[in-house]
Structure 1
């Protein structure tokens, strides 16, 4: 193992495979989907199952972006507590979004079962960990709000949290039994494989360079070929790679890095997250912990492994591991990687209707798996079904954010600063 690991665990361990050659000819379809992450593959699968002709174009490989670099926590709802969502969207729209996304994990796990996706699906719930007494107070309020909206949440005290996590580093936790963990890249690849089996034309290494209106159709150009479509979904999220289109998603990039150990010895593994929950904490600069099916312990935190200063994050992760689990034989990692999160100002996703039969969806703010799956399916239904399906969120025709670059720098600098001094023994 190298001193500075750099490969992505999910790419090395996915059991899903797919043959998706680059776009090599002109084509006409009902629906064009641009972007092969959770949203795009979900939309393509749903559209194909409804009988529509579909072309899904991915600039790199399926799950290349955030979907293949994800922590893999299938959470219910958004990062925001319910009252904040209602405050920003209103009682009716906010309540509808809370209800729809509360059922999101169920939708994900049902899809996995229906399509026989090999993605280490584990529905053991998630733990939101209190890093301090202030974190406990935050979780109490989140529990109060969530249960008022029908969520089956349960607060755990310090002792119960230690039993579930195998560490005494946390003051309590909020348990959500609706949630779980998956191998995120395998899930994304499995959705693409299922969409292909339903008749979708799915193409990797097919970067769309231009999207324009052509009479009553949309016209996209990729690999020197054109795709004409009645409907289009732009699902590039934080990896909008040089596409010249009528609308460009607006968001602040937040990077999140992860570090995976070798498989733990069986005796040690039995004491760490024995029930298999995925976890994240209440700290201002958030961190996460989980196990994969092979027993690798994965530690994550805000920050990029692709920028200068990545050694701050790697050193932090080693210290964090020693702090949480001093019983481990060595604080070392076999894999290290990071991905981009598209963060909106209000932490609520955006659906922009930028032209006739054309939508762009983005800004999951770190909650991509269940919302991406739900939004992709809903967009396909809205475009293709008669009567139209219902979207979980009202659309807008324009969306912009100010000072995105400055805010992205602030988040990365803050993570380096915190990781430079925290978790020291």
Structure 2
């Protein structure tokens, strides 16, 4: 029987990174709220620059999106680069595009430098066209990437089938800069690297309040507080504080992992280990892990009434993509939340004097989160905002958040209820 709502990444994690909750009142150069990719990258790079830094994590390291995502280390954003430059303006858009195109280089270099055991595999990603409209979209993306000298290639249907093991796609955009990893182990590795550099991480320490008292930031927890010169808020979609200034829509994403495939199946299905997602409006993904488990993902939550609709969709999706897999079961099922901004671009907003908030990776947490965290560390050290990949803006609350979340959930549920019924 499947282990419903049990996270594969948590079950196969190297360790749990045991640390103590915050107790007492402390002072630090920098206080970081959130122990995911952004917060841990910021902590590591801040500590490496000789600054004192405390991280407050509400639960455990990687509890949020950093321990629940697909594990794709993408180059760039879901939003095409031309559109990024249209939204931000050419100069600012080029700056963000360049920073995030280099994100996989940063991630894989950190893994090598700190010997993080997270099964990194840099064999690229495949953006797969499910229909003719999707193929046209990939051709447009190819032209934009080629214009920027990116080493991407558009594969035909035959080559796509050879690489994926599925005949359901008309083509795929191969990006060799990208790759896959075990996402929670990467977060745990960043946490160990940060503490080795001198950062202090307090788990089970949700921030209850934070404000600037005129001289310092004061962040309180149930059993203590931290005053600091700089504040980096990095909880993304998992903020523990209820605030009217929420600036993104929460989108749920579910994943389903089989038992390890047979040796013969592994020769056919993603033999090179690329991570994949498709061009459908309600996007889905698939990849294999280091043990050969096939992992199917799609928009939707396993914590609500539509749980069984998403589970049934995952079964149909697997059978449609890989009909030769006749015997299988989903051993693990879990879901998480994505912080989706209106323009699908990440944000850095100003919280006040010497305080910033990082969020809005819209499903691209590993590369952008690591990159934004490192940039935030440089900002904390120098105060120079020019090093940030995107300009700091004033907080702007998202309108109709509840309705938008319901819209995404309802759309995914309807799509999954109707989809693949043949």
Q: Secondary structure at the match of 1:146?
A: helix
- Describe how 1:23-422 pairs up with structure 2 within 5 A: 23-242=22-241, 248-385=245-382, 390-422=387-419
Closer, same or farther: CA 28–243 of 1 in aligned 2, 3 Å? farther
Gaps in structure 1 of 5+ consecutive residues: none
Counting matched residue pairs gives 422
**Tell me, what secondary structure is at the counterpart of 2:237?**
coil
Matched-pair contact (CA < 8 Å) for 1:133–1:171: yes
Tell me, in whole angstroms, the C-alpha distance in 2 between the residues paired with 1:339 and 1:147.
Answer: 34
Shift of 1:305: 0.5
Contact 1:43 1:377 in 2 (8 A): yes
| Structure 1 vs Structure 2 CA RMSD | 1.3
What is the CA–CA distance in structure 1 between the aligned matches of 2:176 and 2:382, rounded to whole Å? 33
Equivalent residues of 2:37, 2:365 under 8 A apart: yes
Distance in 2, matches of 1:205 and 1:100, equals 33
CA deviations over 1:284-311 (Å, ceiling 9, x no partner): 0100000000000000000001111110
Shift of 1:16: 4.3
**Structure 2 stretches lacking a partner, 5+ long:** none
Distance 1:56 1:398 in 2: 22
Q: 1:34 to 1:248 in 2, by over 3 A?
A: farther
Cα deviation code 1:99-143 (max 9, x no counterpart)? 110000010000010111111100000000001111110000000
Task: Identify the range of structure 1 (177-186 vs 385-394) with the bigger mean alpha-carbon deviation.
Answer: 385-394
Structure 1 pair 77/221, CA: closer, same or farther in 2 (3 Å)? same
Deviation at 1:13, TM superposition (A): 0.6
Report deviation, 1:145.
Answer: 0.6
Corresponding residue for 1:6?
5
Deviations 1:135-183 (A, max 9, x none): 1100000000111122111000000000000010111000000000011
Q: CA deviation at 1:424?
A: 2.0
| Greater CA drift, 324-333 or 399-408 | 324-333
User: Contact between 2:251 and 2:409, CA under 8 Å: does it hold in 1?
Assistant: yes
Cα distance in 2 between the residues matched to 1:314 and 1:386: 48
Whole-angstrom CA distance in 2 between matches of 1:386 and 1:89: 23
Contact kept in structure 2, 1:208 and 1:243, CA below 8 Å: no
In the alignment, the residues of structure 2 paired with residue 212 and residue 80 of structure 1 have an alpha-carbon distance, to the nearest angstrom, of 34
CA distance in 2, matches of 1:303, 1:378: 32
Any conservation in 1 of the 2:245–2:398 contact (CA below 8 Å)?
no
> Shift of the alpha carbon at 1:45?
0.3
Q: What TM-score, normalized by structure 2, do the two folds share? A: 0.98
SS in 1 for 2:236: coil
Local SS of the residue matching 2:395: coil
Q: What is the deviation of 1:19?
A: 2.2
Q: CA deviation at 1:337?
A: 0.5
